[in-house]
Amino acid sequence: EVQLVESGGGLVQPGRSLRLSCAASGFTFDDYAMHWVRQAPGKGLEWVSGISWNSGSIGYADSVKGRFTISRDNAKNSLYLQMNSLRAEDTALYYCAKGTLLVPNHAEYFQHWGQGTLVTVSS
Amino acid sequence: QSALTQPASVSGSPGQSITISCTGTSSDVGSYNLVSWYQQHPGKAPKLMIYEGSKRPSGVSNRFSGSKSGNTASLTISGLQAEDEADYYCCSYAGSSTFVFGGGTKLTVL
């Protein structure tokens, strides 16, 4: 059974940093691209970032480009999101999602989701 | 990377059919045929309902179907049931390893 468990969320002041983690199990982690998707309170889903199996292809939403960095450690079956210069508008539930391909492309979709970790940016 | 356009809400009575549209541009939906759709119940993680435009994952009812025409993808739910009441989101590849979701549609079963 595929399991994705996010951690690292919490309350952080504007301008500070936070690192999210996603522990994956139940599948061969380095066979798939992975993604972060967020959902602000009462709002819709927003794709944040995705990374290919070997970290060779990475994409970011314009809203986080230059501030967030996605990475993965295949030896640890883990996905990460380093979030710097956090803003109030980054407040959201952050989901880790498993892709279906080695490299994200037009055929990619999000097959499995974690339960999310809540990030609150406030002074 | 502008969000795909979905109606904010749709409604239908049990047994009826409804269609949720998802309109993008030639840079996303129009260029890539393989839109995916997700269902989200309150307080729950999203669930994949349709992938590659019209395919259903194992376990998803055949009452759910997907299609696309030009820059607009659609999700149709036939034989509405109470448990279908949820938020629905479309998603498209937008090039350069990026993706874009629709704003979401709240389905109410009357």
* pLDDT for the residue A84: 98
For chain B, give me the number of helices (H) and strands (E)? 0, 9
Which residue of chain B is at minimal alpha-carbon distance from A117? Answer: B45
Asked if B45 and A116 come within 8 Å (Cβ–Cβ), the reply is yes
Q: Tokens 């998603």 identify what position?
A: B91
Q: Is the model's pLDDT at A105 over the cut of 90?
A: no
Q: How many CB atoms lie within 10 A of CB A58?
A: 18
A59 and B97: CB-CB below 8 Å?
A: yes
Does the pLDDT of residue B33 top 80, yes or no?
no
Token readout for A58 is 């990475």
**Hey, are the CB atoms on B87 and A116 less than 8 Å from each other?**
no
- By percentage, how much of chain A surpasses pLDDT 90? 94
Q: In a 3-state reduction of DSSP, which class is residue B58?
A: coil
What average pLDDT does the segment A12-36 reach? 97
For an interface test with A, the pick among B27, B39, B49, B99 (most A C-beta atoms closer than 10 Å) comes out as B99
Strands B9-12 and B105-109: what pairing?
parallel
3-state secondary structure of B110: coil
Report the pLDDT averaged over residues A100-107. Answer: 88
The yes-or-no verdict on residue B26 having pLDDT over 80 is no
> Which 3 state secondary structure label does DSSP give A18?
strand
Cα distance between residue B81 and residue A64, in whole Å: 38
> What is the Cα gyration radius of chain A?
13
Q: Is the pLDDT of residue B31 over 90?
A: no
Nearest CA in chain B to A45: B101
* Separation CA A57–CA A28 (nearest Å): 19
Residue numbers in B near A115 (CB within 8 A): 45
Higher-confidence residue: A118 or B30? A118
pLDDT of residue A96 exceeding 80, the answer is: yes
Find, among A64, A56, A55, A45, the residue nearest to A109 by Cα: A45
Q: How far apart are CA A69 and CA A26, in angstroms?
A: 25
Examine the pLDDT at B61 and tell me if it is beyond 80.
yes
Closest to A100 in 3D by CA, of A5, A45, A39, A34: A34
Alpha-carbon distance A92 to nearest alpha carbon in chain B (angstroms) = 13
Considering only the beta carbons, identify the residue of B1, B36, B57 that sits closest to A62. Answer: B1
**CB atoms B45 and A59 under 8 Å:** no
Percentage of residues in chain A having pLDDT higher than 70: 100
- In this structure, what token pair is assigned to residue B13? 């009575």
Q: What is the pLDDT of residue B36?
A: 96
Name which of A61, A62, A106 is nearest B32 (Cβ-Cβ). Answer: A106
Q: Report the pLDDT value the prediction gives residue A12, as an integer from 0 to 100.
A: 97
Asked if the model's pLDDT at residue A17 lies above 90, the reply is yes
**Per-residue confidence (pLDDT) for residue B10, from 0 to 100:** 98
